[in-house]
Structure 1
Amino acid sequence: MRKIFIIEDEQDIIQAVHDELKKWGYDVTGVSDWDNMIAEVKKADPVLILMDITLPMYDGFYWTQQIRSFSQVPIIFISAADFDQNAVRALMIGADDYLVKPFAMDLLTAKVQAVLRRVNAVQEKSLEKFGCELNLLTNDLDFQGESVRLTPTEGLIMKLLMLNANQTVSKKKMISALWQGNNFIDENALNVNLSRLRGKLSTLEGPLQITTIRGQGYRLEEKL
């Protein structure tokens, strides 16, 4: 049974999530010992993590950074506010999506399934463009011996752009490809992921650049 690890301290939410996702074949596990939470995550080896922001000891941003140091498991943040700086910060440090409290359980299920579809859609082992190679299994982007690790969402954005290099990819097409057409995803999440991806490309110092084509979309090009 596919395991989902929920990092949340409100027992009623944990129980509701457990009951809903169990219908879809998921086993939901929560934190039993906050002092050893990272060890519990490693032992559970989940296919996805649901991460609250306000938690005992440290917040969700801290725990996400800790998890990202050893795993690229998809992470969906649970926020008590609308898409604001908290949600932006979550995406910037490696979260793959966000969910606003209170949320409908069918929306939670849709987001979980959409994120897992994105991760499981990877079939090829790598793509190469302009001398850069994207490992589609690990989401590592390599250029001349240097490497940068992308999140699953960033990896799928890069895959789409590489497959359409030197062509403009519309926001609509990008969102549809990333989130399987679920219209509850707005452009903010896409914009944040693109901004984060551009930052990683700049640290790699390779020939790739993502150009915004105003009113049309985005294009992957080789730096001149």
Structure 2
Amino acid sequence: MKKKIYIVEDDPKLASLLKEHIEKYDYDVFTASDFYNIKQEFEQTNPHLVLLDIHLPRYDGFYWCRQFRTISNCPIIFISARSGEMDQVMAIENGGDDYITKPFNYDVLMAKIRGMMRRTYGEYATEKQPRILDIYGFMIDLEAMEMELNNKRLALTKKEFLLLKELMQHVNQVLTREHLLELLWDDQHFVDDNTLSVNITRLRKKLQELGIENAIQTVRGAGYKMKVTWGDRL
């Protein structure tokens, strides 16, 4: 599967040139289109790496980098016309992994991208945390926020991913609605009981698309639990 790169650059000409150049190296490249909903676009794209400008409409790149870090550890490379040392320090302190100033050499940029990809996902990647959660052939990619069964793969939203991961890590255990609501809540968005029900319903539908039926069960008056209803199980 191709690695995905998300470009957050408000200069349409530069964004187009970056996209065209990077795609030559067999990456799937997506460019930001709604600079007021960057985090939502990021969640929908689930990129393996981000190229992020600092000077952007509404909020700057430092803000969006902090937002990305609440849901992902994917590499983030800042690209900016600002060459001051303090800007580079702020980029790192706000969650960035590298910094390159404009105008830049495309060969240098690609070397940085390939290096980041190797260290994060390839032969130089550390194995501190497993990337794949696998139960009887049903897998969740913990970095890409995608699930797979029998070579069919579907993307998950952040909330669907959090729910599925928690349920799979506690198979056959009842998880209370209060626990799952707390899991979904973040500093910016209050989550109510209806939000939990909606996301459980969406997750069930996506599981059905993979051929998994009745895996997430409602425990009346308590919450939800996951049962293995797929694959060759013991």
Identity in percent? 40
Task: Provide the rounded CA distance (Å) in 2 between the counterparts of 1:93 and 1:27.
Answer: 26
Shift in CA distance, 29/8, structure 1 to aligned 2, threshold 3 Å: same
Q: Deviation of residue 71 (structure 1)?
A: 0.8
| Structure of greater Rg | 2
Map 1:152-171 → 2, pairs under 5 A: none
Q: Partner letter of residue 17 of structure 1?
A: L
Task: Provide the rounded CA distance (Å) in 2 between the counterparts of 1:23 and 1:56.
Answer: 29
Shift in CA distance, 26/52, structure 1 to aligned 2, threshold 3 Å: same
Map 1:191-206 → 2, pairs under 5 A: none
Task: Provide the rounded CA distance (Å) in 2 between the counterparts of 1:110 and 1:63.
Answer: 24
> 1:6·1:31 contact (CA, 8 Å) conserved in 2?
yes
Give the structure with the higher percent strand.
1
Q: Deviation of residue 53 (structure 1)?
A: 0.3
* Partner in structure 2 of residue 12 of structure 1: 13
* Partner in structure 1 of residue 118 of structure 2: 117
> 2:8·2:52 contact (CA, 8 Å) conserved in 1?
yes
Q: Partner letter of residue 54 of structure 1?
A: H
CA deviations on 1:83-122 (whole Å, 9 max, x unpaired) are 5100111011110101110001111111100111110222
Gaps of 5+ in 2: 133-234
Greater shift, 28-37 or 59-68, is seen at 28-37
What TM-score, normalized to structure 2?
A: 0.52
Task: Provide the rounded CA distance (Å) in 1 between the counterparts of 2:126 and 2:30.
Answer: 28
Map 1:114-193 → 2, pairs under 5 A: 114-120=115-121, 121-122=124-125, 124=127, 126=128, 135=129
Q: Partner letter of residue 98 of structure 2?
A: D
> 2:22·2:110 contact (CA, 8 Å) conserved in 1?
yes
Gaps of 5+ in 1: 127-134, 139-224
Greater shift, 54-63 or 19-28, is seen at 19-28
Task: Provide the rounded CA distance (Å) in 2 between the counterparts of 1:94 and 1:47.
Answer: 15
Equivalent position SS for 1:58: coil
What TM-score, normalized to structure 1?
A: 0.54
Task: Provide the rounded CA distance (Å) in 2 between the counterparts of 1:90 and 1:136.
Answer: 27
Q: Partner letter of residue 110 of structure 1?
A: A
Q: Which segments of structure 1 move beyond 2 Å, counting only runs of 4 or more?
A: 121-124, 135-138
Map 1:82-101 → 2, pairs under 5 A: 82-101=83-102
CA deviations on 1:59-79 (whole Å, 9 max, x unpaired) are 000000111111111100012
Shift in CA distance, 136/82, structure 1 to aligned 2, threshold 3 Å: farther
Task: Provide the rounded CA distance (Å) in 1 between the counterparts of 2:103 and 2:83.
Answer: 10
Task: Provide the rounded CA distance (Å) in 2 between the counterparts of 1:37 and 1:123.
Answer: 29
CA deviations on 1:179-207 (whole Å, 9 max, x unpaired) are xxxxxxxxxxxxxxxxxxxxxxxxxxxxx
Shift in CA distance, 81/37, structure 1 to aligned 2, threshold 3 Å: closer
Q: Partner letter of residue 109 of structure 1?
A: M
Q: Deviation of residue 137 (structure 1)?
A: 5.4
* Partner in structure 2 of residue 74 of structure 1: 75
Task: Provide the rounded CA distance (Å) in 2 between the counterparts of 1:55 and 1:113.
Answer: 25
Q: Deviation of residue 136 (structure 1)?
A: 7.1
Q: CA RMSD in A?
A: 1.8
> 1:5·1:49 contact (CA, 8 Å) conserved in 2?
yes
> 2:120·2:126 contact (CA, 8 Å) conserved in 1?
no
Equivalent position SS for 2:112: helix
> 2:79·2:100 contact (CA, 8 Å) conserved in 1?
yes
> 1:2·1:47 contact (CA, 8 Å) conserved in 2?
yes
Shift in CA distance, 101/36, structure 1 to aligned 2, threshold 3 Å: same
RCO higher in structure (CA 8 A, sep ≥6): 1
